[in-house]
A = this chain, B = another copy of it.
């Protein structure tokens, strides 16, 4: 329980070279660690958070991460950092641009998934760790892990990639496009310079979140929680939040701007839109030695099982050790944050598989 720490991992003398060729400095990273690194530095587990997460993994993922939990902090040295482009302590588009003394705004460079990985790798090196026992992440977090493992063989022994995707669908991108439209068309957006105007595109963020939140839930989850229940069944018809589902979504929307930044929303959703590692011309998986466990939830319609099966097929075609399990859960995409026994067992098992180094040198051909 060390609290969030910060490290400047790139500076003017050694800037972060982005995948576009642009340079960024300084890059500060907010991170937390849990547990103790063992003497041979072999028990580190990186947790990668989703779109709106932060470094406090034991808080937002307390169901999975903690003493005695599947990601057991009595056993593993757990590291979680806020993403590059984020707004929870790591450098992002609302950070101060040292060249101007003002927030970057839309002058912040567009990011590729590789750039997010570069910062996480720098943090791991900063902590003196060369090889991770595992990396575990859901949604955007899982996508980062996939990129990392594909690009840097030898660094991640086990990857647990949960309700992620290697290829957003047009509908996925459509939903984030609508969310971004709500933000950039908010008159308080000021072309990204809202900080200089002493404001923020609050309405845009509220609407973006209401819509996004719906897509993280399933029809079944919404039916169980709310169905058609009204706040006051005897009241006359009204536009106010009469149905419980409206009240809930409004609340989710209203609290969101308190904890999340509009520019980070733009940049990080865009990272996902462009993420398509298996469609890159120079993809070479011959050296990838990570053991992948892909998990999906049967009621997730944002990044459902078909996304995991696509990753599974591509990884196996590339000769990579990958398995997949679909978990039954009525709770949609949000399931990855919940305590679902079969899911937790799968994560614990995935962290316990023998490391690649201890396997036979030439594994049998993958079962496709």
Contact = CB atoms under 8 A, between A and B. Distances in A.
Interface string A173-205: 111011011101111000000000000000100
Interface size class of A (residues with CB under 8 A): 35 or more
A171 B228 contact: no
A14 interface: no
Given A245-B177, A250-B181, A276-B228, A239 B171 contact: no
A173 B225 CA distance: 13
A271 B214 CA distance: 21
B236 A20 contact: yes
Interface stretch (A35-43, A145-153, A162-170, A335-343): A162-170
A178 B211 contact: yes
A253 to B, nearest CB: 7
Nearest to A180: B239
Contact of A178 (B180, B185, B214, B238): B214
A214 B175 contact: yes
The secondary structure that dominates the A interface is: helix
With most chain B CB atoms within 10 A of its CB, the pick from A168, A186, A244 is: A186
Nearest to A224: B170
Interface stretch (A130-138, A215-223, A290-298): A215-223
Given A181-B253, A276-B228, A246 B207 contact: no
A303 to B, nearest CB: 12
Nearest to A273: B243
A213 B270 CA distance: 21
A228 B278 CA distance: 13
Contacts of A276: 228
8 contacts: A110-B236, A167-B228, A169-B219, A170-B223, A170-B243, A177-B243, A184-B239, A243-B273
